[in-house]
Copies of this chain bind each other. A is one copy, B any other.
Amino acid sequence: MHNPFEIAQYQVAHAAKMLGLDQNVTEILLHPMRVLCVSFPVTMDDGTTRIFHGFRSQHNDAIGPTKGGIRFHPNVTMDEVKALSMWMTFKCGVVGLPYGGAKGGVICNPKELSKAELERVSRGFIQAIASIIGPEKDIPAPDVYTNAEVMGWMMDEFSRIRQAFTPGVITGKHPIIGGSLGRDKATARGCVYTIREAAAKLEIPMQGATVAIQGFGNAGSFTAFLLKELGCRIVAISDSQGGVYNPDGIDPQEALTVKAKTGSVIYLNDKAQRISNQDLRELAVNILVP
């Protein structure tokens, strides 16, 4: 059972059974209410036309509009977005957001597209799905290989079709056109809130807790800053080239500067001992951020 949609269905069926959920309700939850598959032409920079294929799955809108990311990836499949849209309903549900789940994807490799082509793919996809999205229907967001700029093109295209400035159709836009402040640090912040709550439950004091963080990109580095603010000691960090370990603590700002200059945290300083990612994950620390 490797198909993600079958996995998602199995999980829902299992959870429904444990909850003793009404069979009628379970049946509704086992399938996205709406999956739209589109094929749309895009003019490439060399003048040829290429057909792109995309999907938008909306799982359930019983308590509000649906909501979920759009990914651009060569391997995205219909079953993948169906599964992700189901999980999104429950992700919204557990934190009490008044939204149902959705997810979308376009089969493409953004790394092989020029910026102008990427813009045309983004606009073309929104044209193709415009009749089923909107602030009061389904609200896309960034996801794998899509960012604030892509969201901006999509919002602009939708506004053009509605002939009205409609920032509410999409989240993850740049703040200048109505995006929320703090979105770039939201993942790190959510991670730290979870750590704090888990630590409280496990009675691990944050003050002085040792921390190892695997990955030191946007999410990882900001997590380091936030944990340090809460009194933790960052003893190990890593990136794709390997990691460094200093039981006396690593300064996130210094690490960030080194990484910006050299391309990796492994060049940190003499006090930091090089370790592998594998080693990092096996360190005896209070908090491991994998």
Tell yes or no: A184 within 8 A of B by CB.
Answer: no
8 A Cβ contacts from A32-89 to B: 32-41, 43, 47-51, 53, 61-65
Contacts of A136 in B (CB 8 A): 162, 164-166
Q: Does A127 contact B (CB under 8 A)?
A: yes
Contacting B at CB under 8 A, from A113-170, are 116, 127-128, 130-132, 134, 136-137, 160-167
* Contact of A163 (CB < 8 Å), options: B50, B51, B130, B176: B130
Query: Are A38 and B33 neighbours in the complex by a CB distance under 8 Å?
Result: yes
> Interface with B: A23-31, A216-224, A270-278, which one?
A23-31
Q: CB-CB < 8 A to A131: which residues of B?
A: 131-132, 163
- Interface assignment of A177: CB less than 8 Å from any CB of chain B: yes
Residues 73-116 (chain A) with a chain B CB within 8 angstroms: 98, 116
Known: A163-B130, A178-B98. A33 touches B24 (CB 8 A): no
Interface of A is mostly: mixed
Q: How far is the CA of A127 from the CA of B43 in the complex (A)?
A: 19
Provide the bound-state CA to CA distance between A27 and B40, in Å: 10
Complex CA gap A51/B32 in Å reads 11
- Looking at the assembled complex, report how far the CB atom of A102 sits from the nearest CB atom of chain B, in whole angstroms: 13
Q: Which residues of B contact A37 (CB under 8 A)?
A: 34-37
In the A-B complex, the 8 residue pairs with the smallest Cβ-Cβ separation, listed nearest first, are: A24-B49, A31-B39, A136-B164, A35-B37, A27-B51, A131-B131, A65-B165, A36-B36
Can you give 16 A-B contacts (C-beta < 8 A)? A23-B48, A24-B49, A30-B51, A32-B39, A33-B128, A34-B37, A34-B39, A35-B38, A63-B176, A63-B177, A127-B160, A132-B132, A134-B164, A160-B161, A161-B161, A161-B163
